[in-house]
Structures are given as structure tokens and as C-alpha cells.
Structure 1
Amino acid sequence: MTSLTPLLLATAVNLVMAQAAQEPKQWIGRCEPVNAVMVMNQALTEGKTDAEAFAAVVEARSFDGSKACIDFIREASMNMREGYPRTFQSLWMD
């Protein structure tokens, strides 16, 4: 695992908790790794940082807040690395 995974998890938890305070029942999304890879790649292509790209994944409700979901997103990025190279590089190489 890279050192990015704890940073992503911490960022996601902070975002989820902030949103939970505003909307108690509707803050959590579903774990959708393929969509998360696409959203993250788009954000990285736009020049956003890794944390901002993962925040976009949370905002798109493609992350359910679990560590398992982060693992699924990383696995999906491995499988989709040719079509979405920025996400792969962000999650595996940095």
C-alpha cells in the first residue's frame, strides 16, 4: 500500500463527517469502484490534487466510507489502468 491510502481515508472521513452533520441520513454513498476511478481520473485530468480528486469521488457518492471500498477502488484502478492512467498512477505509483 502506498502512503496515499491513509491520506485518502482521512480526507474521506473528514468529508463524510462534515456532510453527516448537515444531512444526517443522506451523506453516505455506495461503493462504486468503477465510477470512482472515472470520477477521480477526470478530477486529476483537470489538475486537481489527489485529495481533491478523492473528495470528488465522495461528492459523487461512489464511496461508502469503508476501508474495503478503498481497496476495491484501488483494484478497479489496476484493472482499468490503460484507460484511466492518472488514477492508477495516483493510487499505486505516488
Structure 2
Amino acid sequence: GADFFLSGGSCVPCSANFFKLTVGDEACQPCPSSACAVGEYRDTCKTTGGTCVPCTTRPDAVAPPGGGYVSAGSPVYQDNCGWACFPGYEEALDALNRTVC
């Protein structure tokens, strides 16, 4: 199956920090370690191959035009992108207790 490779006639799981998304004789690939774009982090390597996906740490705060993500997830597999108000805006709570700029 996926996340296993053929070794000596037996299927064995990929080592830590390696993945395989398809069924077949292909070798396991190393999990990516490079940073994603601002506002993204790497999803679980074992299930998605570590693709970059949008951060969800501040979903209520992304919509206002005065703020946004300022960094990618760090370490790369953490959904913890930095968020800030843009210059000229300050952080406040709206009537629904959501952070806005």
C-alpha cells in the first residue's frame, strides 16, 4: 500500500521523515523541509507528502483588509503562521468578539 515499500520481498513502512503516496514498487521519498509561502504551512508528510496548505490560525481575522499573515508556519509542519495588522491599522475586537484591524 501507500507509505510502504518493497524490501527483500516484503512490504515495510517508510522510515520516519519519508513518505510514499502511491501503491507500487517505488522507493519512499524524503519529506520536504523547505518553508512554504507566507500564510501557508506543510501538511502532514505521511498523508499528503507535505504539500503547502493555507494556515488556519486566524481564520476570523484574514478577511479584514487591514491585516493578514506575515510569515509561514515555523517549524514548517506547524499551523502557526504569524499574523499582524498592516501599518496604519490597529488590532481591535468587533461586535462578535473577533479580532479585526
TM-score by length of 1: 0.24
Q: More relative contact order in 1 or in 2 (CA 8 Å, sep 6+)? A: 1
Q: Say which one has the larger Rg.
A: 2
Instruction: Calculate the TM-score normalised by the size of structure 2.
Output: 0.23
Structure number with the higher helix fraction is 1
